[in-house]
Structure 1
Amino acid sequence: MANILHSSIKNREEIVNSLGTEKDVVHLSFGINDSYARGMGIAVFSVLENNPDLRFHVHLFGTTLSNESISRIIELAKMFPLAVTTYTFKDEAFQGLPMVGRYTHAIYYRLFIPLILADITDKVIYLDADTLCVGQYNDLITLDISQHTLCAVNDEKRARAKLCPVLKLTSGNYFNSGFLYINIEKWVARDTTNRVINELRENGDKFKFPDQEALNVVLEHETLLLPKEYNYIVDIIYKRVGHEKALPAGVILIHYTGKCKPWHSWGGSNVADLYYSYYERSPWRGISLDMPVSYKEMKRYARVLWFKGDYLSSVKWMAKYMNTKVFRKRTHD
């Protein structure tokens, strides 16, 4: 499988390396397309800022990045010691692998990362692009995971209660795959990629979150569960504007699950504001936050603006919300 995967890489390019002669490097990986390059970049910026004693080599798997994204990554490497390598797959790389529901072959990116990096490192951190690091990884990288295929963090209680019986997870555990600390040696030795793909072939059409659920089924008894601080899950719009709880002390990684992302202007919560404090100091600061498109987003944004004291703008967006909702209703009548 490893040789097949290497031959499936269309292009491998080290786009920047300001690490010098550093040997003790932490390897960090993402599976993205260019539309998520901004999120990835801010995630990496936050990791670097909060871990000044560590040196990172970031591996980006997916589709080709734009010149603009690459230039911002290079700017990031001028701010911190950093190496970044991109890997783009050939069009036929995933031929023959099952398509699951509405999901593209991008769900396979993280399954192949350990195989492709096996000649480079024995461990790798995988992060989703909608994350923000606010703590240090020193304890993580010294953790003994020699007997486990990976480390992860349990999903929220309601997710476990719903999915454990469905997936027949007798342990009662169901981890979120937005953060994984992978033991590459064990992953490869246990043929993990093939086992997960086989699970997707057999049951993928039953899964709501295909790759995450397949990983849970296959690795239920091979995963070391870490405290929730390593993948603290928040849904920005789960609470009403101004009613969210404060972020607990000791959180290392915030994971912004849900449809509303922290680069959306209508987020309007303390954890969204925290994200923006990193955003505006990163090389991606010149890109404006995404503005509302749907009437529900407009309504949320109007409430955010009101809560922040920008009453005139709030009224304008509430008017846009009303007009858009009325127009939408008329077109559906």
Structure 2
Amino acid sequence: MKSLLMILVLALSLSPRESQAAQDFVMVGADQAYYEIRETFGFVPTFLKQFPAEAISGAWQEMRDLELSPTTSLNQKTKELIGLAVASQIPCQYCVYFHKRAAKFSGATEKEMNYAIAVAASTRKWSTYFYGAQISMESFKSDIGKMIHFMKNKSVSGIPESSGIVAYDAPEAMTDMRKAFGFTPDFIKFYSSRGLAGAWNEMKTLEMNTQAPLQNKVLDLISLAVSSQIPCQYCIYSDTEFAKFDGANKDEIQESVAMAGIVRHWSTFLNGMQQPQKAFEKEVDQIFKNLEMKRDSLNNKRITYR
């Protein structure tokens, strides 16, 4: 807050000439951003044109250096699956369309995309339950710690779907949980007995399944990104701990959360500007048509040089 006040005071104290120089500097940054956007996408999409010129340089820089960069800790497919999952949960029709096209461009299959969206749905469901049941955070953290400790001792990262039983009622679900975690977590005891068996079967086969189309680590990071922007304090804690258990490093965790923030940022702006959906989709299609042409051209050059 102090830094912001200092900047405002400095801006107000500038002479007209200095103020104009500062504005010129900002516009040079905007011009450079528009140039890079055209070089990347083939044109400047409407939503980027509409974004304030004073801030487009920073907004584009973040998109370029995190979401679009091939040198981040997370690969392109994982970042776009995160984007799709977050967009689906917000929900943002613009962002869902963009990130689904981006995920396909990055090599994601329909099954992988459906899986990412299902994980987002599961995260939202459990977030709703934790808050509605008013679970004690201290007790919740203790349960998560005991669960991970037990799983570490078993030296497993997930439960193969083929080895698990199907629970038909709440007692069977709790018995199966004891096999998985060594005990029945306190937080689960508040769940409706009518829905517990189905909820457990879904969680086990969706988020704890070593035969899933996505790695357990990726599923954890997708869930973390979704829970970060809900926001759900319970889910953020458990998803972070399970992501670490499944091998995620600090950079991967930070990038997942940052991707969630980027999606939320552009969702807010797109929905506020209310660009017609079909017009937006047409521009997104053109973006990826141009990117596909650039990729094909690059691949052809590589073949020629061999």
Work out whether the TM-score is over 0.5.
no
Bigger Rg, which one: 2
TM-score, normalising length: structure 1 = 0.24
Which protein has the bigger helix share? 2
TM-score, normalising length: structure 2 = 0.26
